[in-house]
Each structure stands twice: as structure tokens, then as C-alpha cells.
A = this chain, B = another copy of it.
Amino acid sequence: MGLLGYAFMGRAHAHALLTLAHMTGPPAIGPRLVSVAGRDESRRTAFAERFGFERQAAGWQEVVADPGVEMVENLLPNHLHAEPTIAAARAGKHVLCEKPLALDAEEARVMLAAATEAGVVHMCAFNYRFVPAVRRARELLEAGDLGEIHHFRGVYRQSWGADPERAGVWRFDAAQAGGGALGDLASHVIDLSRYLVGEIESVAAQVATFVPGRTVDDAAAAAVAFAGGAIGTIEATRFATGDLNRFTWEINGSKGSLAFDLERMNELVVNGERTLVTPDGWWPPGHVLGWEHTFVFELRRFLDTMAGRGTVAPHGATFEDGVRANEVCDAILLSAREGRHVSLA
């Protein structure tokens, strides 16, 4: 594995790679932590030593060119998703890229095309598909236990957008981030809505930037219609005072309802009943997992796919899913800007 980025996401991925071998059964392939790239030499070195990388690289180009690297994880800021990922795919590396896949759908489609042409395994790291309770929800929906789906409502609430100490981060700069709460948070809501309910057909949205001078949105709210007939809402904000990382969603079907809260990610409320959902073969029932475990399951899926055991889809998100999420984000922005509903073909 070669990692691009050693910050928050770098730690999450590296930790998952070190965990999956002993916690999810022997994988068919690796993982070997071969190389990590990053600009700051001292931070990169500390990271590489801590997690046991074999070597370091000053830039992503070096990792992409490294013959010892079979798979590249792109954990860089959003504006650095496309170029390194495309280069890696063209170099025949399997590619995992953090979400949102690209700055916009057009760029995302180029990435998908590159990965498809190269015939490499590709994954867009929508890790919440790998929450055990989310997987259980999908199983219930596939089994028809919920009946015909009428509603989806998903809200991703964070509150740090108002924190003056976080004012200068790259996530508030459109050139580096593409979008704000939309790309960062709503993309998760969009992806899970598609994973659970199906394709979105039309969006009608309001978007707001509360802090003057910011070039990205602080919050977005959309009324959405799904191809299957359901309607609902998708919302994301960095101004939900008091909520740190609260991604809630609800589904109403003709035969039942589901509800989920990421801050209580081991619980799935099924027809009003709170059930604890923890994975088999990990700890005994009732012993809860944490946020980081989504990465373990995600990377396990990736490695298994590399080894010819199954595919990324449908439970993992491919670059195609990444393109779709970018398309819906673009549609939400367009809807708000032009004051009209935007259809997604």
C-alpha cells in the first residue's frame, strides 16, 4: 500500500490496515505498508515510524512510480484527488480515493474513466456503508421487510463551522475543497440514501454561507425525489450548535421504519425498537465498535477485491458511486443558484 497523506485520514487508514490482519481473519493479500507521501518531512517521518512504513516519499509522484506499491490510497485534500489518482490508475495501481471523489462531477467522471480504462480496482471511501447497522439496514431493505419506501430523511450535523479557531482550514476554501458542508457532509448523506433507497431523480435546494468571506457553503438543505417514488430531505450543516458529528437518517416504508444516528452507530432503530448491531466474529454481542472500524471493513473489502474475492460493489462505493454523489452535489448547488428543481437523468 502507498498512502498519500498522513493527517487525520492517514491515521484512520493506517490504523485500519494494521488492525484488519489480526481482527478480520487472515487476508489473502498483505497488507504491507510500503510508502507514505506528504510535504512536511518531520511529521511524515513521525507518522511513517509510528505505523511502520517501509519508506517515505516527498511527493505523490514518487509513490505512484514506486514499483513496490500495488495500491494507492489518496487521502489528500479534495483539489488533489484527481491528478494523483488518475496517475496512479494509469500506472496500474489499484486506487482508493477519499470522498468527495472530485471537485465536481465532470472531474469525477474523468477519474472514473481512467480507473475503468486501466482495469484497476477503484473505491470511493464512503466508509459509512461499512457501519454494521447500516449494512443491516440494507439487508432489511433488500429482503423487503420495509415494504415500499416512501421517505428518506438524512441530516448531517456538525458545529465546528462557527469556531473561529478553525477559520483558516482548507475546507473553507472553494479552490481546495470544492464545496463546504455539501461536499464534505452531504456527500455522505447522498451516498447512503442511494445505497439504501436508490437513485435520486430530482433535487430542490437551499444553500447558505453564514460567514462572510467564505467561498464554500456552510449548509445545504434539499427536498429530493427518488426514482422509486419516495420523497424526502437531505441536509448538511457545520452550524448545528451542540452536535459534533451527528449524521442521522430515517426511512419510512409501507411495512416499517428505520432510524440511525452516527453518534450511536452501534444502534439501528427498527420499527421503533432500538437494536444493537455489532459484527459477527469480532467481539461478543453487545460489545460496541467505534468509528474507526468502518475503515477496517472498508479496506478489507478492497484487499479482498484485489485478491479476486468478490467486488467493491455493491457494499463498497466505487468511483461510479463517487461520480453520482458529485452529480447530486452539483445539482443541489445549481438548484439553489438558479431557483429551480434540477433533474438527475
- Which residues of A line the B interface, CB within 8 A? 8, 11-12, 14-15, 18-19, 21-23, 26, 50-52, 147-148, 150-151, 153, 155, 157-158, 162, 202, 204-208, 210, 218-225, 229-233, 235, 237, 239-246, 252-257, 263-267, 271-276, 283-293, 335, 339-341
Contact = CB atoms under 8 A, between A and B. Distances in A.
A340 B337 CA distance: 11
A21 B14 CA distance: 13
A155 B250 CA distance: 12
Given A221-B224, A223-B233, 8 more contacts: A150-B239, A202-B339, A204-B339, A221-B223, A242-B271, A243-B257, A263-B267, A289-B290
A120 to B, nearest CB: 28
Contact of A286 (B148, B229, B245, B339): B245
A210 B233 contact: no
A273 B276 contact: no
A51 to B, nearest CB: 5
Q: Main SS of the interface on chain A?
A: mixed
Contact of A233 (B233, B284, B288): B233
Contacts of A204: 204-206, 222-223, 335, 339, 341
Nearest to A25: B50
A215 B313 CA distance: 41
A195 to B, nearest CB: 20
A151 B283 contact: no
Contacts of A233: 153, 221, 223, 233, 235
Contacts of A287: 245, 290-292
Contacts of A267: 263-264
A50 B286 CA distance: 24
Contacts of A240: 150-151, 252, 257
Given A14-B22, A51-B22, A206-B225, A241 B265 contact: no
Contacts of A231: 206-208, 219-221
B206 A151 contact: no
Contacts of A224: 206, 221
B232 A257 contact: no
B292 A291 contact: no
12 contacts: A150-B219, A150-B237, A202-B206, A204-B341, A208-B229, A243-B257, A246-B286, A263-B267, A265-B288, A288-B290, A289-B290, A289-B291
A22 B26 contact: no
Contacts of A18: 18-19, 22
Contacts of A150: 208, 210, 218-219, 237, 239-240
Contact of A155 (B148, B153, B272): B153
Contacts of A205: 204, 223
A151 B210 CA distance: 11
Nearest to A232: B221
Contacts of A290: 266, 287-290, 292-293
